[in-house]
Structure 1
Amino acid sequence: MRRVLRPTTVAKLAAGQIEFRLDARGDGVVLVFHGGHVRAGLALGEEAFDRTILAPSRPGYGRTPLSRSIEDYCDLVAALCAQLGIDRVAAAVGISGGGPTAATMAARHPDLVERLILLSAVSFLPFPDRLTRLGSHVAFNAVTERATWAGVRTLMRLAPDAGLRFMLRGLSTVPSGTVLAALSDEDRAALVDLFTHMRSGRGFRNDLRPTRDVTAQIDQPTLVIATRTDRGVPFAHAESLASTIRHATLVESHAHTHVIWLSPDWPPIAARIRAFLDTA
């Protein structure tokens, strides 16, 4: 079974502390910003990039403390790249809630970031809706988030199919039973492994803070990939990113869920990503 949990390292730089994972896989480096409830140690959908992966934990996740601003954090990531001897990255990748960070990284450090890839990514539209925001402050605050994820882990251990149905309801507009039936045993196991290792820390509530829209400042070639059946991040976010970033191309996935790399059409999309990374 594919295991999502990988070892990480902590760098203590003049600009601050940051947790990261560096997986050497090939020529070139892709800088991956994962989404909500996910830290650097969780590897998600990265095989498509066919490059060395640098995945830092975003502020409040894992062992990366909260930053004063998203701009300060992006400067810290740039300092980490310099410390590691990385002077160019083939792409900054923003997955889900990591979208605004990847976009800000591209806008703020164009000499470092050659391309931008946004997967099921949050845009700069208002997000999430009011009801979800209120629920998040209840379930994922500093007191409750540990208990919330302990409950998820217990459910995944005792009744994994029921646990997957429960979690998938928030990730797809398709009935969760239909989504579950379409998943292979390997994909089900990967999702159980993912949900078992998720934590919010102080990061998810930090993600709910508004972020300055930098799309007008992005000049790099950009791929925006999303599915219309994503309940976690509505397709309108992909449409907004594709329409406001100058050199953006929108690729529509036919995945049933927010987790678009667990879909029958992911192999051709992954091939398109690799071709995009190979362009001069």
Structure 2
Amino acid sequence: MRNERAAGAPPPRPASLAEWREAADGSAGSVTFTHAEGDHVVVVHRWRKPGATTVVLVHGIGMGQQYFGLLRAELADAFDVVALDLPGFGESPEPAESLPMAALADLVAAALEAHVPMPCIAVGHSMGTQVVAELAVRHPALVERLVLIAPTVNPRERSGWKQALRLLQDLSNDPLIVAAVGARLYLQAGPRWYLRKLRTMLEHDIRPLLPRIAQPTLVIRGEDDRVAPRGWVEQVAALLPDGQLRTAKGKGHEAMITGAEPVSRMIEEFAR
């Protein structure tokens, strides 16, 4: 595992929810596919760049692909970018039951194989790191590199109320726009589905997967992240056979929501 100092402070960011929505709107030029197995639907949004490496963005709990808007727009200059709405989030309808992480990774693999050039750089944020870790182990031919942003779940705080407390503490240090965007997306998912998925997230332990990940892996932690504390993220990186850890200065758990920098630059450098 390699460690690196915190990257520089981010540039100016959207100051309001309206500005964020305008800046994050990358729908122009995108194509959308749906992949369904029973009532479990993955919505695949793709911003094509023929001949470029595919980057797949997998969101965390309560979110959707729109959450990646600013990061996605920045990466689209260099990559063929794909962003997913997992079952029950974003534009994907709520299924009756929550899939275990391994089964969810299998569903994602099927959706990607059907609609996206593979292999890819798989990027997961928060709960999305659990999905892409399973994807890398269960479907290694689909993933050439892996990026884990704010990995979950810290084993010392594996309960719903502790995760909620840490998230609230994290948000207290962030601009109001972060809470506004997060609240909008959480409300879209709805409390019933959120709680079902939270149970699945807390039951899943990423640690046994990490030594089995053969792909080069970049772990990114926001310097001020309360949900994914430094000791836990260092443990994640240390368990990886080919892992490196970088720190995003001035960022919390929601590391990309107010601006793509420095996360986009870290991913671009890692892809070289």
**TM, length-normalised to structure 1:** 0.70
Shift of 1:9: 4.9
Question: What is the CA distance between 1:195 and its match in structure 2?
Answer: 2.1
Counterpart selection for 1:23 from 46, 51, 63: 46
Contact 1:57 1:64 in 2 (8 A): no
Pairing of 1:9-20 with structure 2 (within 5 A):
9-13=33-37, 17-20=40-43
Secondary structure of 2:245's counterpart equals strand
Is 1:273 matched with 2:267? Answer: yes
Q: Matches of residues 64-79 of structure 1 in structure 2 within 5 Å?
A: 65=95, 66=97, 68-79=99-110
Q: Percent identity?
A: 23
The answer to whether the Cα contact below 8 Å between 1:123 and 1:238 also exists between their aligned partners in 2 is no
Can you give the 5+ residue segments of structure 1 that lack an aligned partner in the other structure?
Answer: 137-166
Pair 32,43 (structure 1): closer, same or farther in 2 beyond 3 Å: same
Q: 1:16–1:76: 8 Å Cα contact kept in structure 2?
A: no
1:261 aligns with 2:256: yes
How big is each residue's C-alpha offset from its partner over 1:96-150, in whole Å with a ceiling of 9 and x where there is no partner? 12111111111111111010001112157354347426x79xxxxxxxxxxxxxx
Give the deviation of 1:248 after TM superposition.
0.5
Residue of structure 1 aligned with 2:85, choices 48, 54, 57: 57
Distance (whole Å) between structure 2 residues aligned to residue 6 and residue 206 of structure 1: 31
1:113 to 128, 143, 148: 143
Asked if 2 retains the 8 angstrom alpha-carbon contact of 1:117 and 1:224, the reply is yes
Match of 2:68 in 1: 43
CA distance in 2, matches of 1:221, 1:11: 28
- What is the CA distance between 1:236 and its match in structure 2? 2.5
Relative distance call for 1:120 and 1:48 in structure 2 (3 A) is: farther
**Residue matched to 2:184:** 196
Counterparts of 1:1-280 in structure 2 under 5 Å?
1-3=19-21, 9-13=33-37, 17-26=40-49, 27-44=52-69, 45-50=71-76, 51-61=79-89, 62-63=92-93, 65=95, 66=97, 68-89=99-120, 91-123=121-153, 125-129=155-159, 131-132=161-162, 169-171=168-170, 176=172, 179-180=173-174, 183=175, 188-189=176-177, 191-198=179-186, 199=189, 200=191, 201=193, 202-211=196-205, 213-261=208-256, 267-277=261-271, 279=272
In structure 2, C-alpha distance between the alignment counterparts of 1:21 and 1:78, rounded to whole Å: 11
Higher strand share: 2
> Which structure 2 segments of 5+ residues have no match?
1-18
Structure of higher CA gyration radius: 1
